[in-house]
């Protein structure tokens, strides 16, 4: 039987319901598809916490963080460490950011309501068994700097998976792997690998999002490929299946 994400435990659901109000900054966010909160284990079993920037179209559709192209690259990074389940992912922002992660975005991220709510979430996700925090991109690294508890963990400051210069991005990921391999215990069923990245992503570096990270009943092709795109200038999203079932 396929394992699906059962949804957030009550304490998390409660915190999610009490999310901060982004309306004062609504010009900077795509709020029509609602907030996207997390992906992975919120049951205290996460050994690694992943922090990203903001949800894009695939995340809007799947209702989970980091499931599209960027997420599948992060999944490949986790699989090199032998992780197939013991991680939890959150973003800097609950809604898709319009435009660049600029000075204004940094100010929004550090606004008291946004910062305090996110710090509480991180405190809830972190446990004594947290072995590392992976901060992908400058926004995520700011999140670490704004999180008082952040200095209690080993933090890997990583280039965002969507960065344009792929060769530089993969060099950065390669540099961080040895220290992470020393700290992170592989999952049962995971196969850690000692291979490094080349100068571009190979198909095997991009790993499918497991059903256990997705809500019950999504189609089989969900979690692979880049399937959703925004209609230019609109809130509509076109979502194309990559293959029929059966
Ligand atoms: N999708 C996310 O959820 N976060 C990112 O940082 C990028 C894509």
- Residue tagged 């499931």 (tokens): 67
Q: Looking at the domain assignment, is residue 3 inside a domain? A: no
Average pLDDT for 114-138: 97
Report residue 242's pLDDT band, with 50, 70 and 90 as the boundaries.
confident
- Measured between alpha carbons, how far is 76 from 208 in angstroms, rounded to an integer? 8
How far does the centroid of ligand 1 lie from the alpha carbon of residue 89, in Å?
Answer: 10
| Domain presence at residue 219 | no
Q: What is the pLDDT of residue 225?
A: 83
Report residue 179 as tokens.
């220290």
> Which residue pairs from 1-4 have beta carbons closer than 8 angstroms and sit at least 24 positions apart in sequence?
2/211, 2/212, 3/210, 3/211, 3/212, 4/211, 4/212, 4/214, 4/215, 4/216, 4/217
Contact 49, 140 (CB under 8 A): no
State the Cα–Cα distance between residues 36 and 26, nearest whole angstrom.
15
Distance 29 CA to ligand 1 centre (A): 14
pLDDT of 235 strictly over 60? yes
pLDDT at 145: 98
Q: Give the model's pLDDT for residue 233.
A: 72
> Which position has the token pair 């209702």?
63
Residue 230: predicted pLDDT: 87
Q: CATH number, domain at 135?
A: 3.40.470.10
Examine residue 211 and state whether it is found in any structural domain, yes or no: no
Confirm whether 217 is domain-assigned: no
Supply the pLDDT for residue 216.
Answer: 94
Average pLDDT estimate for 44-64: 96
Helix (H, G, I), strand (E, B) or coil at 156: strand
Segment 22-42 mean pLDDT: 97
User: How confident is residue 241, by pLDDT bands cut at 50, 70 and 90?
Assistant: confident
Domain boundaries, position 176:
27-186
- Best of 37, 39, 53, 137 for a ligand 1 pocket test (most atoms within 8 Å of beta carbon): 53
d(CA 143, CA 149): 11
Cα–Cα distance for residue pair 147/8, rounded to 1 Å: 22
Residue 20 belongs to a domain? no
- 53 C-alpha vs ligand 1 centroid, how far in Å? 5
pTM of the model: 0.96
Q: What pLDDT digit, counting tens, does each position of 139-148 carry?
A: 999 999 999 9
- Distance, in Å, from the CA atom of 45 to the CA atom of 5, rounded to the nearest integer, reads 14
State the closest ligand 1 atom to the C-alpha of 69, by its place in the atom list counted from 1. 8
List the helix and strand counts (H, then E) for the chain: 7, 9
Q: How many domains does the chain have?
A: 1
The pocket around ligand 1, CB under 6 angstroms, is made up of 52-56, 59, 65-66, 68, 70-71, 91
Closest ligand 1 atom to the C-alpha of 137? 6
236 within domain boundaries:
no
Q: How far apart are CA 42 and CA 182, in angstroms?
A: 24
Lowest mean pLDDT among 18-22, 172-176, 225-229: 225-229
Beta strands, E only, the chain: 29-30, 39-40, 48-52, 87-91, 96-97, 132-136, 155-158, 228-230, 237-239
pLDDT digits (tens, 9 = 90+) for 70-123: 999 999 999 999 999 999 999 999 999 999 999 999 999 999 999 999 999 999
Dist. CA 228–CA 74, nearest whole Å:
18
Check residues 221 and 60 and name the one with the higher pLDDT: 60
For the chain, the average pLDDT equals 95
Beta-bridge mates of residue 90? 51
**Residue 16 lies inside a defined structural domain of this protein:** no
**pLDDT at 240 exceeding the cut of 90:** no
13 part of a folded domain: no
The position carrying tokens 């809604």 is 95
pLDDT of amino acid 246: 57
Average pLDDT over residues 27-31: 96
């Amino acid at each position: 039987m396929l394992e699906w994400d059962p949804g957030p435990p009550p304490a998390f659901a409660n915190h999610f319901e009490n999310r901060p109000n982004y309306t004062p900054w609504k010009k900077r966010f795509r709020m029509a598809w609602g907030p996207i909160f997390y992906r992975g284990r919120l049951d205290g079993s996460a050994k690694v916490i992943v922090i990203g920037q903001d949800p894009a179209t695939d995340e809007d559709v799947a209702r989970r963080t980091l499931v599209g192209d960027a997420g599948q690259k992060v999944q490949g990074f986790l699989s090199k460490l032998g992780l197939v389940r013991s991680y939890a992912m959150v973003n800097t922002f609950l809604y898709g950011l319009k435009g660049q992660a600029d000075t204004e975005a940094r100010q929004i991220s550090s606004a008291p309501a946004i910062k305090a709510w996110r710090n509480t979430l991180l405190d809830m996700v972190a446990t004594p068994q947290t072995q590392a925090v992976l901060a992908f991109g400058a926004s995520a690294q700011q999140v670490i700097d704004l999180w008082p508890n952040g200095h209690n963990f080993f933090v890997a400051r990583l280039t965002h998976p969507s960065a344009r210069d792929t060769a530089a991005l993969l060099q950065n990921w390669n540099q961080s792997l040895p220290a992470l391999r020393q700290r992170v215990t592989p999952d049962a069923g995971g196969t850690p690998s000692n291979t490094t990245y080349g100068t571009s992503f190979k198909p095997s570096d991009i790993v499918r999002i497991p059903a256990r990270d997705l809500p019950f009943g999504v189609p089989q092709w969900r979690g692979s490929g880049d399937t959703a795109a925004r209609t230019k200038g609109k809130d509509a999203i076109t979502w194309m299946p990559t293959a029929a079932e059966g």
